[in-house]
Every structure is written in C-alpha cells, then in structure tokens.
Amino acid sequence: MPRGSVPPIVTLVIVGAFVVGALVSMWLIVSIHLSCVRGRALLHIDRPVILDPDADAGPTLHINIRNDGPSPVRVEDLEVVVAGAHAGPLDCGADTIEPGETARCTVVLDRTVALGTEGILRTPWGALRFMVDMEG
C-alpha cells in the first residue's frame, strides 16, 4: 500500500456509515409524515365558493369540499363561519365525506354578504379560509 493512502476497510466503513445515516433519516421523515396524517381527513375547498342571494331558503353558499385524506369526515364536525352573517348547518347530502370524494355542500345565511367577504370552514384539524364569490 502506498504511503499516505487510506486502507480499503476505512473507505467501506465511511461509505457504510453514510448509507446507514441516509436510511435512518429517510425512515424518520416517512414515520413523522405518516404519524401526522394517519387517521385524518385532508380537506380542500374547491374554488369558487358561490353565493346565491335569491335561493328559496335564503342567501345560500355553495361549497365544494374535497377529502384527499385517508379517513372519512363527518359533516356534523364541520362548521362554516362567514363575516357579517350567521351561517346555518352545513348540508352535503350525506353524513360523511369519504376519502377521494368531493361533496357539493350548501349552507344558508341569515343575510346576504358582499362579494369578497371572507369565510372559514372549521374542521377538527384546523380552519380553511375562502372568499365569497358570485356565479356569472
């Protein structure tokens, strides 16, 4: 072996340490991700949220809610809050929004709100913001 060179076993140990470190890091990232999303619905509001001010039941918001998570979500666990108006219960035509499903939901307001009014869909895992828009 020439003077000043590294023995092959040292090179193998160093490469092995890097491989083990990379595998441990990958396992840690995947396990943290799975523990964060396991058992939770991952909800999205498909834009736009449409206000129908002339609906028979009163001013009505039409909201499309998509569940991209691995678990269903109960509609009764969701609440709509709109600035300047009281919102009634959310009606999605079913009791749950299943994984991979998009529910077309409505909520009746006690008064008409201006376009661009901010609203929030409260879920057990947080809140989703939206802006009121009008079809047309």
d(CA 112, CA 131): 14
Q: Is the pLDDT of residue 72 over 80?
A: yes
Q: Is the pLDDT of residue 36 over 70?
A: no
d(CA 121, CA 130): 8
For the chain, the domain total comes to 2
Query: Residue 76 — pLDDT band, cuts 50, 70, 90?
Result: very high
What per-residue confidence (pLDDT) applies to 32? 76
Q: Could you tell me if 20 and 67 lie in one domain? A: no
Q: Are 65 and 97 in contact (CB under 8 A)?
A: yes
pLDDT tens digits, 87-124:
999 999 999 999 999 999 999 999 989 989 999 999 98
Q: Could you tell me if 51 and 26 lie in one domain? A: no
- The H-assigned helical ranges of 76-121 are none
d(CA 94, CA 83): 26
Q: Is the pLDDT of residue 34 over 80?
A: no
Segments forming the whole domain that contains residue 118:
43-133
Query: How many Cα atoms are found within 13 Å in the side-chain-facing hemisphere of 45?
Result: 22
Q: What is the CATH number of the domain that holds 108?
A: 2.60.40.10
Query: Residue 49 — pLDDT band, cuts 50, 70, 90?
Result: very high
User: In angstroms, how far apart are the furthest CA atoms of the chain?
Assistant: 91
What per-residue confidence (pLDDT) applies to 84? 87
Q: Could you tell me if 28 and 95 lie in one domain? A: no
Q: Could you tell me if 69 and 114 lie in one domain? A: yes
Q: Is the pLDDT of residue 136 over 60?
A: no
Q: Could you tell me if 63 and 94 lie in one domain? A: yes
Q: Could you tell me if 121 and 75 lie in one domain? A: yes
Reported as type and span, the H/E element at residue 78 is none
